[in-house]
Structure 1
Amino acid sequence: MKIGEISKATGIPVETIRYYEKIGLVPEPERQASGYRHYRQSHLDRLLFIKRCRNLDMAQDEIRELIRLADQPDADCSEVDALLARHLNHVRERLRELANLEDTLQQLQKACSEGRTVSECGILGGLAAEPVEEPSAGGHNHVPGTHHHTPGTR
């Protein structure tokens, strides 16, 4: 199948498929005599696997590691379990960060009372005066591909 067909079948944009090829998550397809890429069922399966992992908010390095492990079907699955445990810890930490963010936003919203002007706005005053808490050193952020990994597990 051609790239447009595999894009439609997976719901993954053509540009993203090309990017996954470029970074090695998906093997480059063979080229037909016409120069068009020819995708096989294995490409479709890999793209759907990546899509499911991305839906679980896994980073590219995590997906790459899962693909590496999947290519060793007789190996012990403890590495897969460990990777998932690290990802779950990241998700839990992110949930705590979001709960803290929600609390801060609720406090700021309470600072605004009806009938006041923008110059008297408690929200804007709070944002201008209150220091915003920075994530702790070594803390996680939520930029894809920035999950922290234990050395030697990439």
Structure 2
Amino acid sequence: MKILMVCLGNICRSPLAEGIMKAKLPQNFFVDSAGTISMHEGKHPDTRAVKTASGHGINISEQKSRPITKGDFDTFDKIYCMDRAVHKEVISKAKNDEQRQKVLLFLEAAGNHENAEVPDPYWGDMKDFEEVFQLLDKGCDAIKNQILS
């Protein structure tokens, strides 16, 4: 199975989600991340995201930001979006219903329907990155359990 995590710039939330999910799933799964904008293309994740992940034994420092492509809809089985705006943007890039059905709101897919958006910690501090990590960690556990059951 191939999983894509998507946020806006692919430097905070989706790199964390990619790293967490990779750490939880068997190696025969492929997990990647992308953004809906190309502003940070080729850049490593935000240093605060790298530090937060590292504090939990996960190395995301070698990841590089990239924008989502039309080819990703053919490559990936599931595309998880971090918030509603990202979800709407990704859905708009899908060419048919089959591709649209692959696109899910991350927290809704993980069973959290009350506040289905992962907040963007970019304008925050380390506390915000840690809170996002914890939210993603719980979500990745739930999604992993769905996938492996």
TM-score interval for Structure 1 and Structure 2 normalised by the shorter chain: under 0.3
TM-score, with length taken from structure 1: 0.24
Q: Whose Rg is larger? A: 1
- Write 1 or 2 for the structure with the bigger share of strand: 2
Bigger relative contact order (CA 8 A; separation at least 6): 2
- Write 1 or 2 for the structure with the bigger share of helix: 1
TM-score, with length taken from structure 2: 0.24
